[in-house]
Structure 1
Amino acid sequence: MLKRILVPTDFSPTSERAFRYALEVASRTGGTVVLYHVYEQVEAGFIDNETKRTAYNQQMETDLLKELNRMNVKYQAAFPKVIVSTVLGHAPVVDNVLGFAEEHRMDTIVMGTQGATGLKKTLLGTIASRIAEKSDWPVWLIPEAYEWKLPQHLVLATDYQLADKKALPLLTAIASVFGADITVTRIISGHITREETAKEQARFSEYSNLLQKDFAASSLSFQLITSSSIIDTLEHLEEEIPYDLLTMVRLKKTFLQRFFTESFTRNMAYLTRHPFLVMADDA
């Protein structure tokens, strides 16, 4: 389940943190890691002479492979039993990364992510968040300021969807790898009526009992949180529930929903200060 790990890199310190995280996971699962860089070859519009253009692209590829190997050597000494492959791919980045994951049957993708604000967030997003939005594979997003520590507390933010329940086998496998516990949480609005709050509490209790029955062998706890702002609460969730990995399921949307609404998981990719695991609802 966590045996084949793909780590796209742009050689930034953030992507190096993601590589370290992937090595930590692979060292505990007996997995392998593919360190992967996507680049764009120079076309005729930049260098007209075909011979010179070919030589330039070959040299660029050689230099990039050296950089991949440098990054591998820097970190793999601490993980001598983990097999790491270094691979180059061609742009466009998002489609190439996802195509590689499909062709080589990767189990998961681990990437570094950087924050973005305002117009940049609205129009561009980060490569990592765009991959997380389109990926059929679980995507771990490692924040730029994150320093590795052993994950001991995992959180699944639920919306009572069937997909949330489907996410638990992977989450319990991760918990087993790290010896961690799991908290399933639901955040509800503090602006609803008492009657609506009572209904939410009853529904959460019913949902908790169902999960406890289906995952009796796992260490699950449950916490219902009332909040005036769900986004703000998730951004500062560690104040409510100390955690090391937040998991959310990316639900499918209709065309109109995609057109008119922002992705909640993309917003969280920018906001979180802890590793963030995004799963597709059919992953």
Structure 2
Amino acid sequence: MKKILVPLDFSETSENAFVYALEMAKLYKAELVLLHTFELPILDSQIVPFNYAEIYDTLEMSNLDHFKQEMPKLKAIAKEQKAQNIVMNHIMMVGDLIHAIKEVVDQENIDFVVMGTNGTTGWFDSFVGTNTSSVISDVSVPVLSVAHDEKFHKIETIGFTTRYREKDISALEEVLAIAKKMKAKVKCLYVKTSASDVRGEAISQWESHFVNENNLEFFIIPSEEVNETIEEFLVNQSIDLLAMVTYKRNFFTQFFTTSITQKMSQHSRTPILAIHE
């Protein structure tokens, strides 16, 4: 059985991600692992004497009580999504969230991470620097990130960006497998700049791997503005989920830290599935 990790802080942001996780769990008949973390306060023992064990026990009980209080709400959401039969286990850990996620991914053999990301202006502007981008960089499994105000809706079209590299073939195969589960189509985008080194013969050979895929389309768009072209593609092609290979961190970071126009910021709530190269 597959396992999907969902970090929760019981905010609306994490609840939105929880719904996406439920939908994935239904598709894969997967188990959800709900993770909640808390940190110990930094205290100066020279000023106020204290007992570390007592403080830890108090905070642990307080967070455990909070978790128990929230579980009925999560179960109600699951019932509303017709996912009440999904197995849900929870883990509570003290310490840094990123470290906890990495540890749980390894120890529990997690297959996916689904988590929310906060945003104040355009989501893409605020993406890097959040916990979500750190998780994408540091864990070895695919990460589905959901914007803080993005309510779940049926995924009918998945976008996939490529550079027509050899390693992109297996990533697209993975995306196609997900699309078939979701009964969705896939639209593959290559933004061709003047510096692009991919020749037409290589593109044809690359695409030939997918000649029997009926629900797959390829788009090659000449442009020097890679980031803006991807963003426009999301809107123009009604993309419900964007899958990207992370490549090196600097490329992924560059995409998400690029400034965007006011028009595009209104449409930058597309969930993103990050797949490691």
TM bucket, shorter chain: 0.7 to 0.9
Q: Which residue of 2 aligns with 1:19?
A: 18
TM, length-normalised to structure 1: 0.81
Q: Which residue of 2 aligns with 1:188?
A: 192
The match for 1:229 among 200, 225, 229 is: 225
CA gap 1:88/1:68 in 2 versus in 1, 3 angstroms? farther
CA gap 1:153/1:94 in 2 versus in 1, 3 angstroms? same
Contact 2:158 2:240 in 1 (8 A): yes
Q: Which residue of 2 aligns with 1:263?
A: 253
- Please report how far the alpha carbon of residue 267 of structure 1 lies from its aligned counterpart in structure 2 after TM superposition: 3.7
Using the TM superposition, name which of 93-102 and 199-208 deviates more.
199-208
Contact 1:42 1:57 in 2 (8 A): no
Q: Which residue of 1 aligns with 2:106?
A: 102
Report the identity percentage. Answer: 24
For residues 242 and 106 of structure 1, the distance between their equivalents in structure 2, rounded to whole angstroms, comes to 30
Q: Which residue of 2 aligns with 1:73?
A: 75
Residues 1-283 of structure 1: matches in 2 within 5 Å? 3-42=2-41, 45=44, 48-50=49-51, 52-78=54-80, 79-115=83-119, 125-189=129-193, 192=194, 200-209=199-208, 211-213=209-211, 216-217=212-213, 219-252=215-248, 263-264=253-254, 266-267=256-257, 272-281=268-277
For residues 119 and 108 of structure 2, the distance between their equivalents in structure 1, rounded to whole angstroms, comes to 30
- Please report how far the alpha carbon of residue 80 of structure 1 lies from its aligned counterpart in structure 2 after TM superposition: 1.3
CA gap 1:219/1:89 in 2 versus in 1, 3 angstroms? same
Query: Aligned AA for 2:158?
Result: L
Using the TM superposition, name which of 69-78 and 28-37 deviates more.
69-78
Contact 2:119 2:126 in 1 (8 A): no
For residues 118 and 126 of structure 2, the distance between their equivalents in structure 1, rounded to whole angstroms, comes to 14
Contact 2:25 2:86 in 1 (8 A): yes
CA gap 1:229/1:252 in 2 versus in 1, 3 angstroms? closer
- Please report how far the alpha carbon of residue 217 of structure 1 lies from its aligned counterpart in structure 2 after TM superposition: 4.9
Query: Aligned AA for 1:62?
Result: L
For residues 231 and 40 of structure 1, the distance between their equivalents in structure 2, rounded to whole angstroms, comes to 37
For residues 79 and 175 of structure 2, the distance between their equivalents in structure 1, rounded to whole angstroms, comes to 28
SS of equivalent to 1:263: helix
Contact 2:128 2:257 in 1 (8 A): no
- Please report how far the alpha carbon of residue 203 of structure 1 lies from its aligned counterpart in structure 2 after TM superposition: 4.1
For residues 236 and 54 of structure 1, the distance between their equivalents in structure 2, rounded to whole angstroms, comes to 49
For residues 38 and 103 of structure 1, the distance between their equivalents in structure 2, rounded to whole angstroms, comes to 16
Structure 2, unmatched stretches of 5+, are none
For residues 89 and 70 of structure 2, the distance between their equivalents in structure 1, rounded to whole angstroms, comes to 9
CA gap 1:181/1:127 in 2 versus in 1, 3 angstroms? same
> 1:129-167 deviations in whole A, cap 9, x for unaligned?
111122210000111221211111111100112221111
SS of equivalent to 2:172: helix
> 1:181-221 deviations in whole A, cap 9, x for unaligned?
112110123xx39xx79x75554333222x324xx356321
For residues 241 and 131 of structure 1, the distance between their equivalents in structure 2, rounded to whole angstroms, comes to 28
SS of equivalent to 1:56: helix
> 1:14-50 deviations in whole A, cap 9, x for unaligned?
1110000000111122111111111112455377332
CA gap 1:54/1:101 in 2 versus in 1, 3 angstroms? closer
Structure 1, unmatched stretches of 5+, are none
SS of equivalent to 2:18: helix
TM, length-normalised to structure 2: 0.83
RMSD: 3.0
Contact 2:113 2:143 in 1 (8 A): yes
